[in-house]
Structure 1
Amino acid sequence: MRTMGLDVGSHTVGVAISDTLGWTAQGIETIRINEEKENFGFDRVAELIKEYTVTKVVVGYPKNMNNSIGPRAEAAERYAASIGELFNLPVVLWDERLTTVAAERMLIEGDVRRNKRKGVIDKIAAGLILQGYLDSQS
């Protein structure tokens, strides 16, 4: 039984999965979505939930720095509600402020070229979101 972490953006959803003990998070993939065409990647999320026997989902909650809720946070709330309804799983919204910045910094320090960073940053951010949640539970 594992926990899934999701970093929901307007074009992609980064996905991370915990180990079976719930100690560590690993970014596994980035799902392309299209909000305008109402393609939110739920089919792929369903496949991953089944493959990894996911029992809980943590969705990044991008609050503004002043703790207010903006349009992206509202979109994350809707996405989290849909995940909960579609898959009948508990869903936790987790404050993700600055996780994408931290992921970008990690990649830059790792000397990853800009064009390659774009393809992995969302799954790394999802891993940071999930790891933050897992650390809070121990």
Structure 2
Amino acid sequence: MERILGLDVGDKTIGVAVSDPLGLIAQGVTTIRRTSIKNDMEELKNIVNQYNVSKVVVGLPKNMNNTIGPQGQKVLNFVEKMEKVLNIEIVLEDERLTTVSAERMLIDGDVRREKRKKVIDKVAATYILQTFLDRR
């Protein structure tokens, strides 16, 4: 069965989540440390192949007034490159407040600050993907 990939693209890291084969539940997989666009694409290609991914959901950071700011533009540029390399359907998901929600959940779960830093992107990617899955 094909799965759906969820990404939280940041300047330094990319949080990665993947759906279960039925497309119901999102699960955090890894955090990619960004070194170069070439390496980012190589790692994503490996994950897409490993999990038999048919679609990618990318969190698009928007301003509260629904406009696209500098960070949103970086994500759009990244998605453009991804489309060329991966040749796969890519969906943009409004990700306003996902990192905030992810942080709150980790704090509520008593996760220490150092540990939160390591997993926040993966958890945010899980939120982005789960939001998409729930809406389908």
Matching residue's letter, 1:13: I
Kindly tell me: are residues 39 and 114 of structure 1, through their superposed partners in 2, closer, same or farther at Cα, counting changes over 3 Å? farther
2:53 aligned residue: 54
Q: TM-score of the superposition, structure 1-length normalised?
A: 0.94
Matches of residues 1-138 of structure 1 in structure 2 within 5 Å?
1-34=2-35, 38=37, 41-137=40-136
Listed as ranges, the gaps of 5+ residues in structure 1 are: none
User: Distance in 2 between the 1:11 and 1:39 partners?
Assistant: 14
Kindly tell me: are residues 40 and 77 of structure 1, through their superposed partners in 2, closer, same or farther at Cα, counting changes over 3 Å? farther
Kindly tell me: are residues 54 and 71 of structure 1, through their superposed partners in 2, closer, same or farther at Cα, counting changes over 3 Å? same
Equivalent residue of 2:24, what SS? coil
User: Distance in 2 between the 1:81 and 1:20 partners?
Assistant: 26
Kindly tell me: are residues 119 and 77 of structure 1, through their superposed partners in 2, closer, same or farther at Cα, counting changes over 3 Å? same
Deviations 1:58-114 (A, max 9, x none): 000000011111011111111112222111101001000000000000000000000
Q: TM-score of the superposition, structure 2-length normalised?
A: 0.95
Equivalent residue of 1:41, what SS? helix
Matching residue's letter, 1:24: I
User: Distance in 1 between the 2:92 and 2:83 partners?
Assistant: 11
* Partners of 1:33 and 1:39 within 8 A in 2: no
Matching residue's letter, 2:111: V
Listed as ranges, the gaps of 5+ residues in structure 2 are: none
How far 1:136 moved relative to its partner?
1.0
Kindly tell me: are residues 32 and 132 of structure 1, through their superposed partners in 2, closer, same or farther at Cα, counting changes over 3 Å? same
Segments ≥4 residues shifted beyond 2 Å: 37-40
RMSD between superposed Cα atoms in Å: 1.1
Provide the aligned length of Structure 1 versus Structure 2: 135
Equivalent residue of 2:67, what SS? coil
* Partners of 1:17 and 1:26 within 8 A in 2: yes
